[in-house]
Amino acid sequence: MSKPVLNVGLIGYQFMGKAHSNAYRQANRFFDLPAEINMHTICGRNEAAVTNAAKTYGWKNVETDWRKVVANPEIDIIDVSTPGNTHAEIAIAAAKAGKAVWCEKPIGNTLPEAKAMLDAVLEAKVPHAVFHNYRKAPAVALVKKMIEEGKLGTIYHFRAVYLQDWIADPNFPLVWRLQKEIAGSGTHGDINAHIIDLARHLVGEFDGVWGLLHTFIKKRPLAGEIDDKLGAKASDQMGDVTVDDAAMFMARFKNGALGTFEASRFAVGRKNKNSFEINGSKGSVVFNLEKMNELEYYNNEDPSDLHGFRLIQATEGNHPYAGHYWPVGHIIGYEHTFVNLVADAVTNMVAGKAISPDFVDGYENQRVLDAVEQSSEKRTWVKL
């Protein structure tokens, strides 16, 4: 019997559009999914650019008006991969049109936007997902399994950094990610969102936070044409940076664990270091995206003369996701976290089950982001 076909409409074609396109193209090739993914339509305002993206990434149709994609009765899933200030409008319209809504993180630029998006998908009873892709790294999924199996015991600490340096040059232009009215925030919503998601996924819900958001460079050259790797041409006029360059906070979880979080785009030398350490009563783990197939594990129950961090390479056939790709030891990469997420999302959507992560996760993530921003503004502890 032939499988059902899921027609995807992708809104956005830059960095995340590229990563999602690759995932839609590959998921059926590496996973035996209950449906075939059809790369139906890609949409973007610049007709020449989005037509080129369609050719390059393998989309059948091109649109320049997202409303037409949402209104198209052939489309089953709307993927929102646009800048943050357009997420809510597109996602809410898609939900009202009865489409599944899969959205990049953070789902909204504000807490009210995130709440409206969650309400819309719940009211419409449509499948919903958020592209917090790092949950789907085999080594991270192994940590989740270890914690569920009690291998780390009572969790005391979650310690995470997400460090980049792509704007440490003061001459780097004022791209949309540095403009509050488009991006909502800077490193905070962009990459703190990821380590907040990992904390919620692995440790639990937040009880309270104390934050500090900071902008190092206040003015930058206005941006000209942008590319799909976070960059753009610089003009000779200057403009105000209206978002944070670095965002740090400490947290208490409802289960009593403590957390520290640091996101920066000025960690010179760190290109995309998403790393966490979890300390529990029975042991500790360390994940580092720079070595994403590896997990450092300290088992406190080892005999004392064998105590020490061991290195687990999460490429065994029985490690989460790893068996879908290559023989043991043949590592996978950043792009496979999106393939894994799409595979899980298709599987759960066809089964009528909630997708992990979904808009509930997106909204809870936004509650933490918002609390940290409030804390930084008021210089006080904020309870959730």
Q: How far is the CB of 173 from ligand SOE (least distance, A)?
A: 15
Q: How far is the CB of 309 from ligand SOE (least distance, A)?
A: 26
Choice between 16 and 42, CB closer to ligand SOE: 16
Query: Interface mask (CB under 6 A) for ligand SOE, residues 113-152, using x and -?
Result: ----------------------------------------
Strands 155-163 and 258-264 come out as parallel
Q: Is the dihedral of CA 312, 315, 317, 319 positive or negative?
A: positive
Q: How far is the CB of 289 from ligand SOE (least distance, A)?
A: 9
Where in 156-175 is the site for ligand SOE (CB under 6 A)?
A: 164
Radius of gyration of the chain (CA): 21
Q: Let me know if 166 is exposed, middle or buried by CB neighbors in 10 A (0-12, 13-18, 19+).
A: middle
Phi, psi of 226 (to 5 degrees): -95, 160
Place of tokens 């914690």: 147
**CB burial readout 286-300, b (16+ within 10 A) else e:** bbbbeebbbbbbbbe
Where in 266-285 is the site for ligand SOE (CB under 6 A)?
A: 272
Q: How far is the CB of 161 from ligand SOE (least distance, A)?
A: 13
Q: Report the residue number whose CB is nearest to ligand SOE.
A: 190
How many of the chain's residues bind ligand SOE (CB under 6 A)? 6
Q: How far is the CB of 305 from ligand SOE (least distance, A)?
A: 41
User: Does residue 15 touch ligand SOE according to CB under 6 A?
Assistant: yes
Q: Which two tokens stand for residue 116?
A: 């409206």
Choice between 167 and 257, CB closer to ligand SOE: 167
Choice between 191 and 286, CB closer to ligand SOE: 191
Query: Interface mask (CB under 6 A) for ligand SOE, residues 226-265, using x and -?
Result: ----x-----------------------------------
Q: Map 179-224 to HEC letters.
A: CHHHHCCCHHHHHHHHHHHHHHHHCCCEEEEEEEEECCCCEEEEEE
Q: Which two tokens stand for residue 356?
A: 């992990």
Choice between 30 and 176, CB closer to ligand SOE: 176
Q: How far is the CB of 302 from ligand SOE (least distance, A)?
A: 34
Among 76, 79, 113, 190, binds ligand SOE (CB under 6 A): 190
Distances (CA, A) of 61 to 8, 39, 50, 356: 11, 8, 10, 29
Q: How far is the CB of 261 from ligand SOE (least distance, A)?
A: 15
If DSSP codes are grouped into helix, strand and coil, which group holds residue 334? helix
Among 70, 175, 191, 369, binds ligand SOE (CB under 6 A): 191
Q: How far is the CB of 115 from ligand SOE (least distance, A)?
A: 22
Q: Which two tokens stand for residue 59?
A: 């989309």
**163 near 270, Cβ under 8 Å?**
yes
Residues at the site binding ligand SOE, with contacts judged by CB under 6 A:
15, 164, 190-191, 230, 272
